[in-house]
Structure 1
Amino acid sequence: MSHHLSGPNLRSPRGDARLDLTDLFAFPASDAPGRTVLIMDVNPYAPTQAAEFHPDAVYRINIDNDGDNRADVAYSFTFAGSRTGGQTVTVHRATGAAAQKHEATGEVVFADVPVAFGDAPDVVDAGDRRLSVGLRSDPFFADLEGIVNDFTWTGKDAMAEANIFGIALEVPDADLGPDPVIGVWARVSLHQDGQLVSVDRGAHPSLTAYFNAEEVKDAYNAGEPADDWDTYHEPWTAVLQHTGDYTTVAATETLKLVLPDILRYDRSRPAAYPNGRTLSDDVTSARLAMVSGGKITSDHVPPHTDLLPTFPHLGHPHPTP
């Protein structure tokens, strides 16, 4: 899966779907030049496993705009209230040193915006920024049954009727830095016992599922991208050598595309994974080709057709089973 069930033993982090980062996207706005859309999805199979955002969590999208693999700009999303009483989201924008802390600090750019749990998305504008948060159709597509069954393809999209909680933010490019090349990653942290603990993080799709042993997933989710190469390039090289018959040199070059786990996006070029990521990019096939050394090139599942042409782009939610 893209980043669904990213805790140990194919479970959500801490066994809590509210804390489960599922996907991250970065692409240009559809109806205005010079603007970027950032989408962070959480809560797989919503709302059956969790009906609202976690009120003690900080959901965050980080931006590196100088190439040092550390956050220079960060948007933090925190939630208050409940689904039954009306849940709201507040968004902070931090820069500089404050962006490298996991707390929700900095300028408040949206305050107490209602979360949309119905069919229609609520889109709110604040100055030159746009926000939409709520229950949406899961854009990820993959033949998970075929992957688990030794790549015997079924043609079934495991996420065809699935929903997630989407956090969609549209900002002017100037918000993200002057250089067109940025790095993006997402994180979910939880306030617990007087501390803020990172429980999930990621950028590139389907890394932890293929590369991380169960016993290191919690440590990976708590880590910093700036440490990824030193920590993971050797064990991940061994994975590629096993799954795709890579040489050490070839594995090293391949892993440079995904380590550190930051999604690079050159805004002067068209967005298509791995340059950013759009909602219709076939990331499952890209990852299968990587781990198999090119032996498997596709799972033969097409993108979803329910995507919206305009912000927030995520499709209307499916009926709850």
Structure 2
Amino acid sequence: MPTLHPSRTRIAALVAAGGVLLAGGFAGLAPERGAASSHREAPLVSGQPQYDNTDVYAFVSPDRPDTTTLIANFIPLQEPAGGPTFYKFARDAAYDLNIDNNGDSLADLTYRFEFHDRLKNDKTFLYNTGPVTSLDDPDLNFTQTYDLTLIRRVDGNVHGTRKIAQGAPVAPSNVGRASMPDYAKLRAQAVRPLGDGTAAFAGQADDSFFLDLRVFDLLYGANLKEVGNDTLSGYNVNTVAVQVPTRQLVRNGDPVIGVNSTVQRRNAAGGHTQVSRLGSPLVNEVVVPRGKKDTFNASSPWHDAQFAGFVTDPELPKLIEQIYKIPAPPGPRDDLVQAYLTGVPGLNKPRNVRPAELLRLNTSIKPVANPDRLGVLGGDKAGFPNGRRLTDDVVDISLQAVEGELLGKKNDLGDAVNANDREFGSTFPYVAQPHSGSDVRGARSGAAKAGAKGKDGETVNLLNAGAVEDAAGDEGSGVPGLVPIAAGSGVVAFLATCGLLWWRRRPGRLGG
């Protein structure tokens, strides 16, 4: 992700940066370098949203405590009405959920999703040609399916593969209420039981991350006033998820697993190159310096210890001290090393651990009826940094941790965004339903709303909206000048210019 964008760049990332700094070590890894992960946190992958991890979650399933749920989100900042070519997984990529179950920082199990496209009618521009009532509805013109493969490794080397799902349907983009009158039904059809207590899901969802991304405006405006706005509200992502009996994930009686997600992209030689990586939140965004972000995304956790300096001497608390005069805790920050690299002793540290940026989860700690959004800092050991639940406020947790909460330096730092804009589900896959293309995220200044009255008293609708003058009057967008200009010979050039400016300003599909 080339430029930091308020996307997944999440403020949380900045927060966790202190802790995740640890993740920042990845220099000199694979010769084929990839992109970054999260919401536009690294230069290369920011321009390739299909391959960009935004968040990873790992938690003991609240309604099935004998299972563990793993979730990874991709393609950040999806504008729900962003058609006619809506959001799909890449066909040339392998989307992996990786599990280390012996503490050596190498993946022992990988759940790999690979996607396939199908277009029924290439003579229309439409994503769907009528109301869609099921995933096999002939009116759903574009569909995706996926194959899910379980890969077993020993010392990082593949020792066996087994396809556990083939041709499973992907939940489509939520085009709108006219196109998909019962989207919840489509979502339910995309949840696939795979036998032996395992289930899988792939499809669109509301972006689960909640925070105020204006943290990147010199840490909330340099005056602490730019807080309290969930700047990811209203956007969607694409989600892959598996729910697996915990006994199948753990090894040798150690209940702690390390989890991350990677994306491997097919290269010209027919092999795969890792282009995105994500474990703990906010690591690549605010812990890893810009010059190392792409290297991090292409690297293996095995090499992370060499960059422990980003964790033991993090940049974030120094920036907070510089801007807000809050003294940074003295280094070295061994507290952050435990929180983000090794796991916390007695909580989620494996018996034999190699320091690495992984989301570490103690699967023996059962879920609680009323999760505390501050996780472990709030006295709830089932929450972040012990894994990550959808409801965990990782931005506030990370900010408080980087400012010394784990060292006894009490503080209440936070971005004033404490919950998601949509309610999470109570059953797998738990992620909230995606926003519909029928929903309007915000009204353009000067726009006349449907249902409003025009100057002649008629209700504004599609048939007469072209005759409605700028709702803002002379103080609006400047369109009043259109009439005299259109009367002249320069009308074509003027309209073309307006169209270009509109196109360049429209909310784009941001990567990262």
TM-score, normalisation: structure 1: 0.90
* Other-structure match for 1:306: 423
Alpha-carbon displacement from aligned partner over 1:254-295 (angstroms, at most 9, x marks no partner) = 123213110110011142001111100000112222344456
Matched, 1:168 2:241: yes
* Other-structure match for 1:70: 106
- Match runs of 1:1-321 below 5 Å: 1=10, 2=13, 3-8=38-43, 13=45, 15-46=47-78, 48=82, 51-82=87-118, 84-97=141-154, 100=157, 106-117=161-172, 118=174, 119-120=183-184, 121=187, 122-127=190-195, 128-148=197-217, 149-150=221-222, 151-178=224-251, 179-194=254-269, 195-230=271-306, 232-240=307-315, 242-243=318-319, 245-249=328-332, 251-259=333-341, 260-270=356-366, 271-293=382-404, 297-304=413-420, 305-320=422-437
Query: For residues 118 and 238 of structure 2, what CA distance do their matches in structure 1 show?
Result: 14
Query: For residues 92 and 143 of structure 2, what CA distance do their matches in structure 1 show?
Result: 16
RMSD, aligned α-carbons:
2.3
My pick for the range that moved more, 174-183 or 199-208, is 174-183
Cα distance change, pair 235–33 in 1 and its aligned pair in 2 (3 A) = closer
Other structure's SS at 1:141 match: coil
Query: For residues 313 and 34 of structure 1, what CA distance do their matches in structure 2 show?
Result: 16
Whether contact under 8 Å (2:42, 2:285) holds in the other structure is no
Give the CA deviation at 1:205. Answer: 0.4
Give the CA deviation at 1:167. Answer: 0.7
Residue type of the alignment partner of 1:315 = A
Cα distance change, pair 5–82 in 1 and its aligned pair in 2 (3 A) = farther
Query: For residues 98 and 192 of structure 1, what CA distance do their matches in structure 2 show?
Result: 25
Give the CA deviation at 1:239. Answer: 2.8
Give the CA deviation at 1:296. Answer: 5.9
Give the CA deviation at 1:94. Answer: 1.1
Residue type of the alignment partner of 1:183 = G
Whether contact under 8 Å (2:40, 2:46) holds in the other structure is no
Cα distance change, pair 100–39 in 1 and its aligned pair in 2 (3 A) = farther
Query: For residues 95 and 285 of structure 2, what CA distance do their matches in structure 1 show?
Result: 21
Alpha-carbon displacement from aligned partner over 1:159-188 (angstroms, at most 9, x marks no partner) = 121110011111111220243111111111
Query: For residues 115 and 155 of structure 2, what CA distance do their matches in structure 1 show?
Result: 20
Alpha-carbon displacement from aligned partner over 1:224-276 (angstroms, at most 9, x marks no partner) = 1121111x112443334634623333x13312321311011001114200111
* Other-structure match for 2:457: none
Give the CA deviation at 1:65. Answer: 0.7
Query: For residues 282 and 118 of structure 2, what CA distance do their matches in structure 1 show?
Result: 31
**Unpaired runs of 5+ in structure 1?**
none
Other structure's SS at 2:313 match: helix
Whether contact under 8 Å (1:233, 1:252) holds in the other structure is no
Hey, which of these two has a bigger chunk of strand by percent?
1
**Unpaired runs of 5+ in structure 2?**
1-9, 14-37, 120-140, 175-182, 322-327, 342-355, 367-381, 406-410, 441-512
Whether contact under 8 Å (1:141, 1:159) holds in the other structure is yes
Task: Work out which of the two has the higher radius of gyration on C-alpha atoms and give 1 or 2.
Answer: 2
Cα distance change, pair 99–237 in 1 and its aligned pair in 2 (3 A) = closer
Other structure's SS at 2:340 match: coil
Residue type of the alignment partner of 2:235 = A
Other structure's SS at 2:154 match: helix
Query: For residues 53 and 118 of structure 2, what CA distance do their matches in structure 1 show?
Result: 20
Query: For residues 77 and 157 of structure 2, what CA distance do their matches in structure 1 show?
Result: 31
Give the CA deviation at 1:32. Answer: 2.3
Query: For residues 187 and 280 of structure 1, what CA distance do their matches in structure 2 show?
Result: 23
My pick for the range that moved more, 43-52 or 172-181, is 43-52
Other structure's SS at 1:130 match: strand
Give the CA deviation at 1:50. Answer: 6.4
Query: For residues 290 and 275 of structure 1, what CA distance do their matches in structure 2 show?
Result: 14
My pick for the range that moved more, 232-241 or 269-278, is 232-241
Other structure's SS at 1:319 match: coil
Give the CA deviation at 1:99. Answer: 5.9
Query: For residues 403 and 118 of structure 2, what CA distance do their matches in structure 1 show?
Result: 44
Other structure's SS at 1:256 match: helix
Other structure's SS at 1:13 match: helix
Other structure's SS at 2:55 match: strand
Query: For residues 306 and 93 of structure 1, what CA distance do their matches in structure 2 show?
Result: 31
Residue type of the alignment partner of 1:24 = V
Cα distance change, pair 261–38 in 1 and its aligned pair in 2 (3 A) = same
TM-score, normalisation: structure 2: 0.58
